[in-house]
Structures are given as structure tokens and as C-alpha cells.
Structure 1
């Protein structure tokens, strides 16, 4: 069974887009707070460090999804998306270096373990051999990264650094692939599952970063 492409919208597209809107980075109060002038540099540094731990190493989610043996119809998009995310990793590394050391926070060991667990969970989703899961994971990740990039660009401006290359095209290509995908019900469910679980990890990350910011402010 393969994932086919069609010009008709439908399938799981509405489900995944609704998930991204409701559970993604754009819906996170803490992510939005980091884009405001009132955000503290230590909160910014904490977020950049955490994102670098999860997404700053190769291979990333898109690379792993591309190596999982998916349908050739999505292969071209995954190759292009992987190239775009390579530049995003370079941006993350630059921002992390400029942000300085990780801010001292109560419960650091537990937080680090939670962040590593999130990274491992995302790797498992991207390497899934369940047809559609890795694809759904990668699509939702790239769509959500557009909001993450908004946070990173705000952080870069606060640190007087150049922002990254425009991420509009990679996000638009992910949306186009999602809208063009037509698959069997089991594959659509797998795509939605991958997207849901990926977004759950990002949601958990922003919640963890908010809790860490609150713990630091209480010191």
C-alpha cells in the first residue's frame, strides 16, 4: 500500500490543521510570551537551549522520516524539507551559542530528563514503520516549526543577531503536500496519530519551559 497524491482536499487535512492550530506552538501562551519585549533573556536562553537539545542534532525528524521507506510521492518534499531544516539547525546552534549558559533552575535534572524523553519520543515517531505515521509526524512538525521560527526570530532580534531565512516556502510546501494526500483510512489514521503525538511533545515542551520560568521567578 502506498500514499497517493490527488489535487482534491480532504482526508486527514482538516484534522491535522486543526491539531496544529489547537495544540501547536502558536497556541502556547509561553511561546507567545517569549516574542514580547518583556520576555527575560534567561527565559529566552532556556527555550533556545531546550529546542537545540531536541531539534539541533542531525538526523532530525524530517531526515528520519525520509529514511523510513515512505512513498516516493512524498520523497521529493521530504528531501526539500530536510534541506530547509538543516538551515534551521544551524540557526538553533548559533542562537544557543549566543544565548550563553543554561540558566540555573530548580529541578534541572528532572527537566533535562523530560526534554531527552521528548526527543526520544519524536525520534520513535519519525522512524515508525507504520505507513503514514512518519509522514504525518514530519508534516505537522514543519507546519508547527513556522510558529517556532517566530519565537526564534524574536530571540535573535533580542540578542542583536540576524534572523533565519524565510520559512514561508517550506511551510507552504508541507501544507500543499498535506492537502494533496489521498490515502486509505488506516494510513490517514496513522498520519493523524503521528501529527497528534508530535504536537503533544511540543505542547509538553512549552509547558515545561513555562514551569521552569515560574520556578526561576519564585527564587
Structure 2
């Protein structure tokens, strides 16, 4: 219980990191964003690796699906919110394609949530619920950012990071007997080209990478919370 409370407390306190350092250099903004994802994204978190390594317990998979649905399963979703705000109009077409792709992922999440059954009983549930509410609020803040490029960067990071998250969903689908649908996100080349155009100035590039860092921070906190919950249940 103490470990879960500590993880949730760090999670809430770290929702928006104010001193993030961005990577701006001679390579493209997308390359820099990919490097950020490789260093700080979901794929490198030990709990996600544990879930996708084979033999993950059903309760841990169920818990992950429920948490992801709680954070990302709402309509219309963060990417559509970014598009609706229109802070970076040149991103509208790509954001529309990405939002359409994420609508399919949201439907997949809904099917999975029904398939995995009820949320596993875990000590400190109220603490976890508060942390998930804080996560949703942080994503809403990112989507509503008025800093040109920040929300777009967060949306691009979500598309990139979803590749790792999708592996967890697919493992859960196979475990619980659900068909795995194909992803309908835009091809990575399309996203890379869009970000290259949108990062037209150093200021926009910094904002894009800052937004991406914030998104990766949210997901790291989520996986740490799920890891603490698994430990509290004795499932690690």
C-alpha cells in the first residue's frame, strides 16, 4: 500500500515537467522526437516489457487494459481535441487522419475492456483512481496548450508511443480470445513528413518536442502506477 501511494503521489506531482530539455539539432524534428521516445517512451518501461515478454498474469493485463481505457478511451480523445483547437492550422489534415486512426484504437480498447472482465481488486484503489483523473486532466491541458506546436507534439508522441502500447493490447487480446484488428494510424512516413513541415522554426520545433516530452512523462507515470498496483496485489 505504501508503495502504491508513493507511486501515485510521484505520478501526480510529475504530471507536467516544467524543466524539460528538448533535443533540437541538425536532424529533423521527427528524428528528435523518435529519440525522445526511445529514451523515455513506454517501450523502455520495465512493466510494459514484463507484460509483453510472455507469461504475463491475467490480472496484470486486465489492470493495464482498464487503466488505458480510463485514460484514452473517452470520446473524442486527445488527438481530436488538438485538431479541434486548431492552434497549428497546418496540422489539421494530419491530425484528422491520426484522430480517425485513434478512433479505431478506442473501439479496440472498449472491446478489450469488456473481454478482460472486472478491474482486479487492488489495495489503495481510491489513490489509483485519483492518479488516473490527474492523468486525464494533464492530457486535456496538453491538448489545450496555446503554445504553437506543443499540442501537436503531444499528439505525435501519442501516435509514436501507441506502437508499444498496442503490443500490450494485442497480448491481452490473444490471452482473452479477442481478434486483433489492424492499426489504422497514418503511416509513420506521413507523420514524420507532417512534423518536419510543422517544425518550420526553432521555436515550433522546441514546442513540439516539449509537448512530446510531456506525453511520454504521462505514460511513464501510468506504467509505474500499474507496476505498483501489481506489486500491491502480489502479482509481480
Tell me if the contact between 1:146 and 1:168 (Cα under 8 Å) persists in the aligned partners: no
The one of 61, 66, 72 equivalent to 2:83 is: 66
| 1:24 partnered with 2:41 | yes
Partner residue, 1:92: 109
The one of 184, 187, 190 equivalent to 2:201 is: 184
Partner residue, 1:157: 174
The one of 209, 214, 233 equivalent to 1:197 is: 214
Give per-residue Cα distances to partners, 1:145-200, cap 9 Å, x unaligned. 11111111111011111112235644443233224443222221111111000100
Measured at CA, do residues 218 and 95 of structure 1 come closer, stay the same or move farther in structure 2, by a change above 3 Å?
closer
Task: Please give the alpha-carbon distance, in whole angstroms, between the structure 2 residues aligned to 1:172 and 1:162.
Answer: 27
RMSD of equivalent CA atoms? 1.8
Tell me if the contact between 1:133 and 1:191 (Cα under 8 Å) persists in the aligned partners: yes
Give per-residue Cα distances to partners, 1:78-109, cap 9 Å, x unaligned. 11111110010000000001111110111110
Give per-residue Cα distances to partners, 1:59-96, cap 9 Å, x unaligned. 21100110121333321111111111001000000000
Measured at CA, do residues 218 and 48 of structure 1 come closer, stay the same or move farther in structure 2, by a change above 3 Å?
closer
Q: Which runs of 5+ in 2 are unaligned?
A: 1-25
| 1:207 partnered with 2:216 | no
Partner residue, 1:5: none
Aligned length: 211
| 1:138 partnered with 2:155 | yes
Q: Which runs of 5+ in 1 are unaligned?
A: 1-8
Partner residue, 1:54: 71
Could you tell me how far 1:11 is from its partner in structure 2?
Answer: 4.5
Task: Please give the alpha-carbon distance, in whole angstroms, between the structure 1 residues aligned to 2:187 and 2:137.
Answer: 24
